Structure formats: C-alpha cells, structure tokens
Structure 1
Amino acid sequence: MAGRRRWSTDEILDAAAELLRTSDADSFSVRKLAAVLGTDSSSLYRHFRSKTELLRAVADRILLAAMDDHRVEGDWKQRLTALALRMRDAFGQQPELAAVWGRYASSGTGSRLVMEEVLQALRESGLPDGEIPVRYHRIAVLIAALISSEAGAGAVTPEEREQGMELFRVAVLGADPERFPALAHFAREVRPLGADRRTAFEEILAAQIADIEAAIRRSRSTAGAEGT
C-alpha cells in the first residue's frame, strides 16, 4: 500500500492560507487543515510545533511577499509611507489574514525585513538612537491596527455593509438631542467607520510622521541649547 503523500512546508502554508480565507483564526485548527490535505495532524506537527507557530508563518508569508520587490526610494517619510501602503495592499488582497497577523505577530524573515526598513528609515530621519525603539513600536502598532481594521471592513459582504449603513443612519440621524446633543448636532456630517478608510489611513499615518518630525526638532533644539 502506498504511503500518504508528504506535504512540503510551502504546500502546507498555501493550504492554510486558503483555509483562512474562508474562516478565521478562532475556528481554524491543525485538524481541519490536515483534513483538507488528506493527512493527519501529526504529520503537520513535524513542520510546525503548534497552531500559533503555523499561523505566524502564514502571516509572515504575506509580509515576505510584500517586501519581495521592495525598493528603497525617497526620504525617511516617503519610505515609511510607502512601506505602510505596501503592507496594506498586500493584506487587502487577503483581508482574513490581516487579523491573523494582528493577533499572531510574525517573527520570520518577512517580519524582520519590515522591521529593518522601519528602523533604517527612523535612523535616516535624524532621531537620536535612544528614541528610535519607542517610535518604531508606535509605528508598528499603528500600522497593524489600521491594516487589521481596514481589512476587517473589506471582508464584509455587500449585504452586511448595507445593513450596517442602515443601522448607522437610524442610530445617528434618530439620536435624541436631549440625551445625545453633540451627536444630534453633527449627525449629518458624522461618517460611519467604513467610509473612506484609505484617506483616513494615510492621514493618521501622516500625523504620526509629523509627530516624529516634531520630536526631531525638539531634540535638535535641545542639543543646540546645550552646545551654547
């Protein structure tokens, strides 16, 4: 009798990514993946020690693909912006995997490439080395949160989106002005979370970059004062 097929690590990750497109991290299991591949869980545990390790590897492949043809161009602000948009586009094509990345932070090659690019850009900015790790962490958290949020909205069906819009209109336009005076005042201008996320993403990222610029100016001003 012929033995069961031996699946490569890349084939396992391809199957896992496909399964995650139709489910989420909570319902995903190594057992379900094994069933898709027509094998048993023990054969997959030879490649990955746990479900978490497997999910991290799937997320890292998205980062690795995003960085595959990345070229360093422009100043540090342009580098950070280009990297964030590149990552957003990569996860936008597979929105179900964005939540996986946000929860199971990768530590693979793709993650290291992203970390290196952010850190290099921050060093180029002129920030003192002592401030770079904290700024890196803020940018990483911000980008992960924005991408996960945008991807989550992108995974909603048209029917669910329309239902959500109707509920939003009813809740906002029908707000009791005595109990919710500010909401009633701005009701016709307030937009739902799903509206124009692309612009919001870029504006929030730009605000973080502007905050870094302000920190650089303060650092230089302090250094100049101490030197006089």
Structure 2
Amino acid sequence: MAGRRRWSTDEILDAAAELLRTSDAESFSVRKLAAALGTDSSSLYRHFRSKTELLRAVADRILVAAVDGYRPEGDWKQRITELALRVREAFGRQPQLAAVWGRYASGGTGSRMVMEEVLQALRESGLPDEEVPARYHRIAVLLAALIASEAGVSTISPEEHAQGMELFRVAVLGADPERFPALAHFAREVRPLGADRGAVFEELLAVQLAHIEASIHPS
C-alpha cells in the first residue's frame, strides 16, 4: 500500500490560505486543514508546532506578497505610504488573515522586510536613532488596527451589510433630539463605519507622518 503523500511547507500554507478564504481564523483548525489535504494532523505538526504558528506563517506570506515588486521611491513619507497601501491591498485580497496579522506577532520574512523598509525610511527622515523604534511602533499599530478593522467589515455577507445599514439609518435618523441633540443635528451627514475607509486610511496615515515630520528638529 502506498504511503500518504508528504506535503511541503509551501503546499500546506497554500492549502491553509485557501481554507481561510471561506472561513475565519477562529473556526480554522489544523484538523480541518489536515482533512482538506487528506492527511492527519500529526503530519502537519512536523512543519508547524501549533495552529498559531501556522496562522502566523500564512499571514506572513501576505506581507511577502505586498513587498513583491516594491521599489523605494520618493521621500521617506512617500515610501512609507506606498508600502502601507501595498500591505492594505494585499490583506484586502485575504481579509480573514488581517486579524491574524494584527493579533499575532510575526517574525517571518515578510514581517522583517516590512519592518526594515519602515525603519530605513524613518532613519532617512532625520529622526534621531533613539526615536525611530517608538515612531515605528506607532505606525505599525495604526496600520494593523486600520487594516484589521477594514477587513472585518469586508468579510460580512451582503445580507448582514444590508441589515446593518438599515439599523444604522433607524438609529441615526430616528435619534431623539432631546436625548441626542448633536446626533439628531448631524444625522443626515453622519456616515456608517464602513464608508470611505480608503480615504480615512490614507488621511490617518498622513496625519501620523506629518506629526513625525513636525517633531524633527533641523540639524
């Protein structure tokens, strides 16, 4: 009898990414992945010690894809902005993994490549070296939060989206002006959480970068 096929690490990650397209990280399991590959969980644990390690590796591949073809151009703000937009776009194609990236620290190749470029750009901004790590951390937290939030909205079904929009309209347009005067005043202008996320992403990133620039003292 022929033995079971031996799956490579890349093949396992490909299968995991495909499985995550139709499920989320919470319902994902090594057992389900093993079943999809026609093998047993123990064979996958030879490659990854835990579900968390596997998810980190899949998410890190998104970062590798984001950096693929990237060439540093422009000033430090343009470089960080271009890289951030690439990461956002890459996770937009696999939103289930955005929350994984935001939740679990990753030390994979993709993570290191993104970190290296942002740190290099910040050094070239004129920031003193002692300030660079803290500024990097703020940018990383901002990007992870925005991308994970946007991905969360994009994974809901059309029916859930329609229901949410109706609840929003009822809650906002029907707000009691005596109890919620400001909400009632701006009700027709206030937009739901999912609106204009792309513009908001770029605006908040620009504000953060402008704040960094304003803190740099000319030499």
Partner of 1:85: 85
Tell me if 1:112 matches 2:112.
yes
Q: Secondary structure at the match of 1:47?
A: coil
Question: What stretches of structure 1 of length at least 5 have no aligned partner?
Answer: 224-228
- How far 1:180 sits from its partner (Å)? 1.1
Structure-to-structure mapping, 1:11-50, within 5 angstroms = 11-50=11-50
Q: d(CA) in 1 for partners of 2:27 and 2:150?
A: 21
Partner of 1:226: none
Q: d(CA) in 2 for partners of 1:96 and 1:183?
A: 33
Tell me if 1:201 matches 2:201.
yes
Residue 9 of structure 1 aligns with an amino acid whose one-letter code is: T
Q: Secondary structure at the match of 1:53?
A: helix
- How far 1:46 sits from its partner (Å)? 0.3
- How far 1:159 sits from its partner (Å)? 2.1
Partner of 1:173: 173
Q: Secondary structure at the match of 1:156?
A: coil
Q: d(CA) in 1 for partners of 2:114 and 2:63?
A: 7
Partner of 1:76: 76
- How far 1:99 sits from its partner (Å)? 1.3
Give a deviation string over 1:189-217, Cα, whole Å, max 9, x none: 1111000111011101111011101111x
Give a deviation string over 1:105-145, Cα, whole Å, max 9, x none: 22100000000000000001001111110000000000111
Structure-to-structure mapping, 1:94-109, within 5 angstroms = 94-109=94-109
Q: d(CA) in 2 for partners of 1:103 and 1:20?
A: 16
Q: d(CA) in 1 for partners of 2:7 and 2:104?
A: 23
Tell me if 1:3 matches 2:13.
no
* Seq. identity, %: 83
Partner of 1:148: 148
Residue 78 of structure 2 aligns with an amino acid whose one-letter code is: Q
Partner of 1:61: 61
- How far 1:157 sits from its partner (Å)? 2.1
- How far 1:96 sits from its partner (Å)? 1.1
Q: d(CA) in 2 for partners of 1:195 and 1:156?
A: 14
Residue 114 of structure 2 aligns with an amino acid whose one-letter code is: V
- How far 1:158 sits from its partner (Å)? 2.1
Aligned residues: 219
Q: d(CA) in 1 for partners of 2:36 and 2:103?
A: 24
Q: TM-score, normalised by structure 2?
A: 0.97
Residue 93 of structure 2 aligns with an amino acid whose one-letter code is: Q
Residue 85 of structure 1 aligns with an amino acid whose one-letter code is: L
Q: d(CA) in 1 for partners of 2:156 and 2:27?
A: 18
- How far 1:90 sits from its partner (Å)? 0.5
Q: d(CA) in 2 for partners of 1:50 and 1:60?
A: 15
Q: In terms of mean alpha carbon deviation, does 156-165 or 26-35 score higher?
A: 156-165
Give a deviation string over 1:12-50, Cα, whole Å, max 9, x none: 001111111111111111111111111111100000011
Q: Secondary structure at the match of 1:146?
A: helix
Q: d(CA) in 1 for partners of 2:20 and 2:104?
A: 13
Q: TM-score, normalised by structure 1?
A: 0.94
